[in-house]
Copies of this chain bind each other. A is one copy, B any other.
Amino acid sequence: MSSEKYEPLTIETLANRLVTVGDICKIVGDDKSKWKIDEVGDGNLNLVYTVSSDSGNIIVKQALPYVRLVGDSWPLPLSRSFYEHEVLVRQAKRDPGSVPEIIYFNKVQAIIAMEMLLPHVILRKKLIAGEYVGGLAQRLGKFCARTAFRGSDLSLQTADKKSDTAMFQGNLALMGITESLVFTEPYFAAEMNHHTDGLDPIVEILRSDIKMKTEAQKMLMKFTANTETLCHGDLHSGSVMCTDDETKVIDPEFGFYGPMGFDLGMLISNYLMAYFSQPAHRESKALAEYQTWILKVIEGTHEAFQHEFKSLWNSERTGILFPKSMFEDQGDSSEVALNEMLEHIWQDAVAISGIEMHRRVLSLAHNADFEEISDTKKRSQLEARNLMMGRELILNNDTIKDVSELTNMARKFNLENFL
């Protein structure tokens, strides 16, 4: 495919445009008449096609020059496709097997062709359907730890870290979306906000909580300034695809240098939202069992994160931070430092969790976990629990000492009725 002017793919034009790419033909064959092409994008931003033939399947993702969810009134640069590709390359290196394999990338056309994950399903759908995923906690806990550690000054050479940090500052439009939609708009009457009928009293509580709003904005300052590591940037349950026992991470176009706790926190909050939404999706024993499993996934994710981070701390600490010359080489343990680092990461993760729980119910882009609940009264009651717990997480990010304190808090809020 030539690299002329950008043009969006259509079902009609895709085959002609991609049949010239050798790496694609290697998988789906070079007889384009046998390609079955479908548009399957259900996200907020991009075009996504599947291309299938007797010999194989691929996914073709193309950025649009605007936000798909809103339309061309909200332009968004195609360069996000370049950043997504750059993040995928780093994630594949830092946590092999965690992300789909890249088959082809075209910067001008903002196209990434990838391995099709089959029979994987978006994790959010599985969580709504009440399906279990073996090894989920372990896989994503490790992913968060490996990408956080190996993208930071604990591991990288500082010159590489700094040039990479500089490059990713260019993904500012995507960071801008997070800065406004996640950290700010939930806390005032922003134009694109919407929320379920009946939630007004809860919204009022949040918007009048000066201390909580201050904490949320302190976290925004960390988001925008603390370039600790290369984050996925959007690690919710819609960015994870699973079978019954395999898990892959997709869609890192929001990749940015930020707090080491960012991805972990966003992931945990999306589990919490799945947890709070469950009473609308199933009943009695199935409900209790599934909610218990979700909290176990949260605990397991955090444990896997800590375990892996500790292991990397001891085996791969080759960056400028906490050098062995200052600790081990002098006969001093660096365990105090490691524990302070884990505490710092956890504190940021807790604050981010709370904020994400707010924006997904109050800001522009909501979660299917709640959105698919047609009984609005029921929905608002469950969302209220989620919002009120989010507030606790933001307010107490510095005192919630471990993950069991967080899951116990979820059990407590799951019994409350705020409306």
Q: Using a CB–CB distance below 8 Å, which chain A residues touch chain B?
A: 152-153, 158-159, 161-163, 165-167, 169-170, 172, 175-176, 179-180, 184, 187-188, 190, 207-208, 210-211, 213-214, 217-218, 220-221, 224-228, 257, 320-323, 325-327, 329-330, 332-334, 336-337, 340-341, 344
Contact = CB atoms under 8 A, between A and B. Distances in A.
For A152, A159, A221, A332, which residue has the most chain B Cβ atoms within 10 angstroms? Answer: A221
Interface residues of A, dominant DSSP: helix
A217 B334 CA distance: 11
8 nearest A-B pairs in the assembled complex, by CB-CB distance: A166-B169, A166-B166, A214-B337, A162-B169, A188-B325, A162-B172, A225-B228, A217-B322
Contacts of A188: 325-326, 329-330
Contact of A158 (B152, B172, B207, B330): B172
B217 A228 contact: no
A167 B341 CA distance: 28
Contact of A184 (B180, B207, B326, B336): B326
Nearest to A229: B225
A208 B170 contact: no
16 contacts: A161-B224, A162-B170, A163-B172, A166-B170, A180-B320, A210-B336, A213-B332, A213-B337, A214-B322, A214-B336, A214-B340, A217-B337, A220-B320, A221-B228, A221-B321, A227-B227
A321 B169 contact: no
A83 to B, nearest CB: 13
Nearest to A335: B210
Contacts of A179: 158, 320
B327 A213 contact: yes
A26 to B, nearest CB: 37
A331 B218 CA distance: 20
A187 B325 CA distance: 8
Nearest to A329: B188
